[in-house]
Amino acid sequence: MRNLRIISLIILVLFFLSGCMSKTQKETIYNKAVPIAQQYMKNNFNADVIFSDNYEFLDPMSSTIVLYGHMSGDKDATFDIMIDHGTFKISQVGGSSEVMDRRVKLDKKNKSSTENTKK
Protein backbone atom coordinates (compact mmCIF):
# COMPACT_ATOMS: atom_id res chain seq x y z
CA MET A 1 0.00 0.00 0.00
CA ARG A 2 2.83 2.39 0.87
CA ASN A 3 4.58 1.62 -2.43
CA LEU A 4 1.40 2.41 -4.33
CA ARG A 5 1.19 5.84 -2.67
CA ILE A 6 4.82 6.60 -3.48
CA ILE A 7 4.40 5.54 -7.10
CA SER A 8 1.19 7.57 -7.40
CA LEU A 9 2.91 10.62 -5.94
CA ILE A 10 5.84 10.28 -8.36
CA ILE A 11 3.50 9.98 -11.34
CA LEU A 12 1.54 13.02 -10.18
CA VAL A 13 4.71 15.10 -9.75
CA LEU A 14 5.99 14.07 -13.18
CA PHE A 15 2.64 14.97 -14.72
CA PHE A 16 2.79 18.49 -13.28
CA LEU A 17 6.45 19.00 -14.16
CA SER A 18 5.98 17.91 -17.76
CA GLY A 19 3.03 20.24 -18.35
CA CYS A 20 -0.49 19.35 -19.23
CA MET A 21 -0.61 20.55 -22.82
CA SER A 22 0.27 18.69 -25.97
CA LYS A 23 2.74 20.07 -28.49
CA THR A 24 -0.16 20.84 -30.86
CA GLN A 25 -1.99 22.82 -28.17
CA LYS A 26 1.17 24.81 -27.42
CA GLU A 27 1.75 25.56 -31.10
CA THR A 28 -1.87 26.71 -31.48
CA ILE A 29 -1.47 29.11 -28.55
CA TYR A 30 1.87 30.34 -29.94
CA ASN A 31 0.34 30.96 -33.38
CA LYS A 32 -2.49 32.96 -31.79
CA ALA A 33 -0.19 34.92 -29.45
CA VAL A 34 2.33 36.07 -32.09
CA PRO A 35 0.05 38.46 -34.06
CA ILE A 36 -1.31 39.90 -30.80
CA ALA A 37 2.24 40.54 -29.58
CA GLN A 38 3.28 42.01 -32.95
CA GLN A 39 0.40 44.49 -32.84
CA TYR A 40 1.18 45.37 -29.21
CA MET A 41 4.82 46.10 -30.08
CA LYS A 42 3.75 48.18 -33.09
CA ASN A 43 1.29 50.23 -31.00
CA ASN A 44 3.40 50.65 -27.87
CA PHE A 45 6.97 50.67 -29.21
CA ASN A 46 6.55 51.84 -32.83
CA ALA A 47 8.42 48.70 -33.82
CA ASP A 48 8.06 45.96 -36.36
CA VAL A 49 9.31 42.81 -34.69
CA ILE A 50 10.30 39.26 -35.50
CA PHE A 51 9.66 36.41 -33.08
CA SER A 52 11.93 33.43 -32.75
CA ASP A 53 10.60 29.91 -32.76
CA ASN A 54 11.73 29.66 -29.13
CA TYR A 55 8.99 30.20 -26.60
CA GLU A 56 8.12 28.79 -23.22
CA PHE A 57 5.09 28.12 -21.11
CA LEU A 58 5.18 28.88 -17.41
CA ASP A 59 2.62 26.15 -16.72
CA PRO A 60 1.51 24.68 -14.41
CA MET A 61 2.25 27.63 -12.13
CA SER A 62 0.56 30.20 -14.37
CA SER A 63 -1.15 30.44 -17.73
CA THR A 64 1.63 32.47 -19.34
CA ILE A 65 3.49 32.05 -22.60
CA VAL A 66 6.78 33.89 -23.05
CA LEU A 67 7.71 34.91 -26.60
CA TYR A 68 11.22 35.98 -27.56
CA GLY A 69 12.07 38.26 -30.44
CA HIS A 70 13.97 41.20 -31.84
CA MET A 71 13.23 44.35 -33.78
CA SER A 72 13.22 44.03 -37.56
CA GLY A 73 16.63 44.98 -38.88
CA ASP A 74 18.37 44.87 -35.49
CA LYS A 75 19.02 41.44 -34.00
CA ASP A 76 20.67 43.06 -30.96
CA ALA A 77 17.43 44.83 -30.01
CA THR A 78 15.96 41.83 -28.23
CA PHE A 79 12.93 41.52 -26.00
CA ASP A 80 10.59 39.06 -24.38
CA ILE A 81 6.87 39.45 -23.94
CA MET A 82 4.65 37.58 -21.51
CA ILE A 83 1.06 36.84 -22.51
CA ASP A 84 -1.69 35.21 -20.50
CA HIS A 85 -2.80 32.43 -22.85
CA GLY A 86 -6.22 32.28 -21.22
CA THR A 87 -7.11 35.89 -22.06
CA PHE A 88 -4.32 36.73 -24.55
CA LYS A 89 -3.56 39.95 -22.68
CA ILE A 90 0.00 41.21 -22.43
CA SER A 91 1.24 41.04 -18.85
CA GLN A 92 4.85 42.17 -19.20
CA VAL A 93 7.49 43.27 -21.70
CA GLY A 94 11.20 43.35 -21.04
CA GLY A 95 14.17 43.84 -23.26
CA SER A 96 17.32 45.63 -24.25
CA SER A 97 17.57 49.41 -24.01
CA GLU A 98 17.23 49.65 -27.80
CA VAL A 99 13.69 48.31 -27.44
CA MET A 100 12.63 49.78 -24.11
CA ASP A 101 13.72 53.32 -25.07
CA ARG A 102 11.19 53.20 -27.92
CA ARG A 103 8.18 52.81 -25.60
CA VAL A 104 5.50 55.26 -26.67
CA LYS A 105 4.76 57.74 -23.91
CA LEU A 106 1.18 57.54 -22.66
CA ASP A 107 0.45 61.24 -23.29
CA LYS A 108 1.77 61.05 -26.84
CA LYS A 109 -0.20 57.88 -27.53
CA ASN A 110 -3.45 59.34 -26.16
CA LYS A 111 -2.95 62.62 -28.02
CA SER A 112 -2.47 60.91 -31.37
CA SER A 113 -5.47 58.64 -30.85
CA THR A 114 -7.61 61.65 -29.86
CA GLU A 115 -6.51 63.55 -32.97
CA ASN A 116 -7.44 60.61 -35.18
CA THR A 117 -10.99 60.50 -33.79
CA LYS A 118 -11.54 64.24 -34.39
CA LYS A 119 -10.87 63.96 -38.14
Q: What percent of the chain has pLDDT over 70?
A: 80
Sign of the CA dihedral running 20, 24, 28, 31: positive
Q: Is residue 6 very low, low, confident or very high in pLDDT (cuts 50, 70, 90)?
A: confident
Q: 16-60, pLDDT tens digit by residue?
A: 655 567 889 999 999 999 999 999 999 999 999 999 999 998 876
Which domains are delineated in the chain? Answer: 21-104 (3.10.450.130)
- Supply the DSSP symbol for 95: E
Q: Is residue 8 very low, low, confident or very high in pLDDT (cuts 50, 70, 90)?
A: confident
Closest among 87, 89, 86, 32 to 55, alpha carbons compared: 32
Closest among 62, 63, 41, 61 to 51, alpha carbons compared: 41
Contact assessment for residue 99 and residue 113, using Cβ atoms and an 8 Å cutoff: no
Q: 59-95, pLDDT tens digit by residue?
A: 767 889 999 999 999 999 999 999 999 999 999 999 9
